[in-house]
Structures are given as structure tokens and as C-alpha cells.
Structure 1
């Protein structure tokens, strides 16, 4: 199907799902697992500057996830998440399939943009 409405609906659905996944993970870092335990996990995985990295990842996932949901600076956010997920793959090689799905999904957003149902579309007008 080469219909713009179908493509835009698919991009909206993809953005919503990815955004919620990233928001949930950022929420988990701050409020479920906690900063101290997550810092310990990062340290055990060999992540440099684990205390700082936890804050960067948590804030990026919360804010970036919300930006994906509303479609604001979508390709930039998706590109940033691609770098984040690639770094996560480097340190957590054991969970390849989950990260591969995230990478391919984020690539779709980088390549095709946010679609018409987004704040980006309103700003372009």
C-alpha cells in the first residue's frame, strides 16, 4: 500500500509504541529500580562514569520518549536513541534481539520522518 494516510498511521503507531517503551524505561530507572541500584548495574556492565550515565540515560529516555510520542524533533531524537541503543548493545551483548528491534524501528523513523500526525509537521508549515 502506497497511501500517505497508511504510512502516516504506521509512523504514528511506531512513534507511540517506541515513546512509551522509552518513557517506561526512564521511569523504571528513576522510580522503580532506583538510581543507586541502576548505577551499580551500569558499573557491573562496565559503563564509563556510571553515576553520570544513569542520569543521562534516564533523562534522555523520559524526555526523548515524550518527544517521540508528540512527534517533536523526531528524527533527531530517534538518531540520538540509535546512538544510545548502539552503546547499550556494546555493553549488553547478551540481549541482542530486543536491541535489534529497537534499532530497526528507530531507523524507520529516521528514514521516513515523523509523519503528518506530529508537532514536526505543524512546525514545517
Structure 2
């Protein structure tokens, strides 16, 4: 095992389990899915129950997929879509810094996931174990992996906002 492969494993697992924990919290945290749905409704993501389920499921699937290094650009795209929507709906009016609930954290998670898609998941991943002897592996890292993560992620996030986001009217 090289330091490079261990470092990628460490990054993938921490990023992935962090995202999966957010999804788990939406399902089972204080207020559960119903509380998450109410919050989504209040911010203009309607119907809230649909978006709560989609967000929680995507966070868990993308998180676990990245942690395992399975079809890495796809979960990375999930990170991009999730963080784009979160940054736009919740954090953009608060500026950059997380200490003021800005979009800094969203940017870091999305860019880190894209970087993993670009470098590849490493030898300690399911991508390597399942695909390294096939031509599929070439599409799971490098420019292909990076482009899949960015293009698919932005398309998903922008599409979700365009179709469903209806911001509440400003308070007088």
C-alpha cells in the first residue's frame, strides 16, 4: 500500500461517511423525515416530503458510494448536486464563511468529491477491485471522472432548482 492510496482512502471515507451521516440525520435525527420535510417546505423546496426523501437518500447513497470508491464519479456528482442546492437555497445569502452559515462548507465538500473523481478512488477501492482490468476503469478517473462529476452534478442541482424551487416571499 502506498501513502497515495491510503490518503485517497482516508479522504474518501471521511467525506463519504460525513455525507452519509447527514442523510441518516435527515431520516432519523430530531424531527425525523417529517421535520426535514417541513424545513424543506419552509425554504421553498416543495413538496417538502419528496425533497426530504430525495436529499436524505442521495446523501446516504453518494456518501457510501464515495466511501467505498464505487463508480466514484457518480457519487461525486451527487455531492455536487446536493451541495449546489444546499448552497443556493440555504447558505448563499449568508456570504462565504461557515461561521455565519455561509456556503464555504458546501464548496469544500463538492470540490473535494470532484477532486477524488479526477484522481480516481485509488487501489483501495471497489472501482479498482472490480474494474482495473477492464476499459471501464479508464472512465472512472482522470478527465472523464472529473467531467462526469461536474457536468452530471451541476445538471442535477440546477435541474432540481429550476423545476422545484419556489423561494418564499421576502418578509416585510
TM-score between both structures, scaled by the size of structure 1: 0.89
1:24 and 2:21 are equivalent in the alignment: yes
- Looking at structure 1, the residues matched to 121 and 64 of structure 2 have their Cα atoms a distance apart, in angstroms, of 13
**Paired residues of 1:39 and 1:54 also in contact (CA < 8 A):** yes
Whose radius of gyration is greater, 1 or 2? 2
Corresponding pairs, count? 122
Higher relative contact order (CA 8 A, sep 6+): 1
For 2:117, the equivalent position in structure 1 comes to: 110
- Looking at structure 2, the residues matched to 49 and 113 of structure 1 have their Cα atoms a distance apart, in angstroms, of 36
- Looking at structure 1, the residues matched to 106 and 79 of structure 2 have their Cα atoms a distance apart, in angstroms, of 11
Q: CA RMSD in A?
A: 1.5
For 1:11, the equivalent position in structure 2 comes to: 8
For 1:56, the equivalent position in structure 2 comes to: 54
Q: Could you list the runs of 5+ residues in structure 1 that have no partner in the other structure?
A: none
- Secondary structure of 1:117's aligned partner: coil
CA deviation after TM superposition for structure 1 residue 41, in Å: 0.9
**Paired residues of 2:76 and 2:110 also in contact (CA < 8 A):** no
CA deviation after TM superposition for structure 1 residue 102, in Å: 0.7
**Paired residues of 1:75 and 1:114 also in contact (CA < 8 A):** no
For 1:119, the equivalent position in structure 2 comes to: 126
Q: Could you list the runs of 5+ residues in structure 2 that have no partner in the other structure?
A: 95-101, 134-172
Q: Which has the higher helix share?
A: 1
